[in-house]
A and B are shown apart, each in its own frame.
Chain A
Amino acid sequence: MPEHTDRASDWMKGDGPFSDVVMSSRVRLARNLAGFPFLSKTSATQRREIACACRDHLMDSGIAESMLWVDLPDSSEMDRQILVERHLISRQHAKGGEPRGVAIALDESVSVMVNEEDHLRIGVLRSGMQLDDGFAHANQIDDLLEQRAGYAYSSRFGYLTACPTNVGSGIRISVMLHLPALVMTGEIEKVKQAANDMHLAVRGFHGEGTEATGDLYQISNQTTLGRTEQEMLADFQREIIPKVIEYEHAARQAMADRRTYLLDDRIHRAQGVLTSARLLSSSEALALLSHLRLGVSMGRIADIELGLINELILLTQPAHLQRIAGGRLDGEQRREFRAEFVRRRLTGG
């Protein structure tokens, strides 16, 4: 398990470019080993063989100074949940007993899922808007792995993946955005519509199939065939994400100019509740932290770091909270502990 589950990963620190709007950038590459079926058609033996081969390739390739391998079937449910909350594995990958695992760089900037939907899912995470850097790193890991593992590839369809929607470059570029002002002004619907027209997916904080909570939206590409990685990156880096950032900035400015009291009320009310509530559910905490984050990034609240809020967004999730408490808590106990924890961290107590 990652060592410091009581604090945020580096990529969540909130110090990257455009961190007032962009929480994190992620690049993921889907790959499969040549000579094996995809996972829906593997025997138990083959599955184990793939897991072992991938683990060896990952641990021996010099991907990071220090790599951690987590064997998921042997891990506790709590540990797996921690990995999900830290965005190091998908929800789907946390389930089931078949041989599978994840290799994680010590700074958590890299996580490679083994035997998820594909044999390999190489993931790189960065704080703020750092897609070029994230892709360069993912690409380098891919090169290192390719020297050891032969990939399933065809010149016609590119990197072959279990689901045809990922075939080709196998790349998924995602940017996690904090868009509270677009939500408050109702303009967020236009963003969703535009994203849809551009063949982009818009998902919530927890990825596939989740609603956006805490005004957090993840925008990612769906097309992987017929366009180069560089073209896709350039779109995100120079067109799509800057437009959304600009839009959110305009909405923030409009709120500040025309709905000053409403804006400040939301922000300070959030601060008030977070620093005095005695019970907090995880969704309420996330919604309030979102408004507080808006206040901090607009300079309307002093003395609180963006990094602290990002950290609280992570640590107030159920598994992290219980890890900090040092044991299992039921729903009621969690709400109580969460309120106390948030209060303490925000008031410096």
Chain B
Amino acid sequence: MKCDKCDQPATVHLIEIVNGKKIEKHLCEKHAVEEGVTVKMTAAPINDLLEKFVMKQTGEAETVERQACESCGLTWDQFRKRGLLGCPGCYRVFADQLMPLLERAHEGSNQHVGKAPRCAGAGELRQQRLMQLRRELDQAVAAEQYERAAALRDEVDHLEQDDT
């Protein structure tokens, strides 16, 4: 793909949402700098960050957009529109895409160093399992499968008790 402004190959692909409309820009290195899209940004509000999010073409942009979190169903595209993740699992599923965003929002950092819950670490798998169970429970209730719901409820309670 060629740059919008000259014949050089476009290396920077910018998707901006302006007033709800998606505007795409494809630029070469030089014009990207001129347009100011590759300058290092200071911490900006998340929406600003997302709207100006520069995605280097990797050929998998499309699949990334449609990739969904298996726990909550959120797609990367939905996240970019609202700026909110759907569940704790999203941080794992979208870790690669979140990394540059986190670094820009947090002065270059992508690793937690502060306070940790006393029982940290051991709980992460159980948290995922709990979420899965709750989702099935919700579906069972919605489908009026009360016996199945009761069994799932027991399992949730059981796991929760282990938690504390």
Contacts and interface: CB of A to CB of B under 8 A. Distances in A.
Contact of A226 (B45, B46, B85, B113): B113
Of B74, B111, B114, chain A has the most CB atoms within 10 Å of the CB of B114
A83 B82 CA distance: 27
Contacts of B123: 34, 150, 153
A32 interface: yes
Contacts of B164: 147-148, 150
Contacts, number: 157
Contacts of B159: 35
Interface stretch (B6-14, B16-24, B26-34, B86-94): B86-94
Interface in B100-117: 101-102, 105-117
A45 B138 contact: yes
B163 interface: yes
A71 to B, nearest CB: 23
Interface string A125-160: 000000000000001001000111011111111111
Given A150-B164, A223-B107, A34 B114 contact: no
A171 interface: yes
Given A34-B123, A36-B131, A157-B110, 7 more contacts: A35-B126, A35-B131, A167-B102, A168-B114, A199-B42, A225-B112, A227-B114
Interface of A: 32, 34-38, 40-41, 43, 45-46, 117, 139, 142, 146-148, 150-160, 162-165, 167-169, 171, 196-197, 199, 222-229
A-B pairs with the 6 shortest C-beta distances?
A226-B109, A35-B130, A158-B112, A41-B86, A169-B114, A225-B106
Interface of B: 42-43, 45-46, 71-74, 82-88, 90-92, 95, 98, 101-102, 105-121, 123-124, 126-127, 130-131, 133-134, 138, 141, 156, 159-160, 163-164
